[in-house]
């Protein structure tokens, strides 16, 4: 049984995590800066833990944070989750961020023996609630194949766009093309 951690249980993250929990047999731990935003998941069986403990305990750590600076701090700082993740585990970032940051995270993760996947989503809160987000993935082929079944639990479409940072590149283009 896989152990999954989810960090960022706001408007989209909580629903995406709930779909994952409902459709898999994964043991799930969660963290959010505002603990009450994880209540729905705790009631569904998740365990609330500090971010560092989520990272230590998980085979797969999912992020759905607000801004790139939140991702950088949560992942790359001296207290960041990457410092606590075990070799061979997977870091999946769903935050809309920057290609440069995604590549930097991938490089640092690779040095630590962790697989990093940038996978921003579109679909907003409605897509997250209905399990119908579109996930644009930047990853190495083997990492994508391993994580894809988990992402499919809350996505209507998951597409590998290329190697590391290509998910963020695709999301940037999407935002430009489909800006209201």
Active site residues: 171
Helices within the chain (DSSP H only): 13-23, 39-43, 51-57, 68-76, 99-111, 124-130, 141-151, 166-177
Cα three-residue angle 68-72-77, rounded to 5 degrees: 160
- Measured CA to CA, the distance from residue 3 to residue 8 in angstroms comes to 17
Q: Which token pair is 83?
A: 């410092």
- Measured CA to CA, the distance from residue 2 to residue 78 in angstroms comes to 27
Nearest CA to 139 out of 87, 92, 71 is that of: 92
Cα three-residue angle 164-148-68, rounded to 5 degrees: 45
Nearest CA to 107 out of 120, 96, 91 is that of: 91
């Amino acid at each position: 049984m896989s152990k999954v951690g989810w960090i960022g249980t706001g408007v989209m993250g909580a629903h995406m995590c709930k779909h994952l929990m409902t459709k898999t047999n994964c043991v799930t731990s969660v963290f959010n800066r505002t603990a009450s935003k994880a209540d729905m998941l705790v009631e569904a069986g998740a365990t609330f833990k500090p971010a560092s403990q989520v990272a230590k305990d998980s085979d797969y750590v999912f992020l759905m944070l607000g801004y790139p600076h939140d991702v950088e701090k949560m992942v790359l700082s001296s207290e960041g989750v990457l410092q606590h993740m075990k070799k061979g585990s997977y870091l999946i970032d769903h935050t809309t961020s920057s290609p440069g940051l995604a590549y930097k995270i991938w490089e640092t993760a690779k040095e630590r023996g962790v697989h990093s996947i940038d996978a921003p989503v579109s679909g907003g809160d409605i897509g997250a609630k209905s399990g119908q987000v579109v996930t644009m993935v930047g990853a190495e082929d083997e990492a994508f194949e391993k994580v894809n079944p988990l992402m499919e639990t809350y996505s209507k479409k998951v597409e590998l766009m290329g190697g590391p940072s290509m998910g963020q590149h695709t999301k940037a283009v999407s935002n430009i093309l489909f800006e209201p």
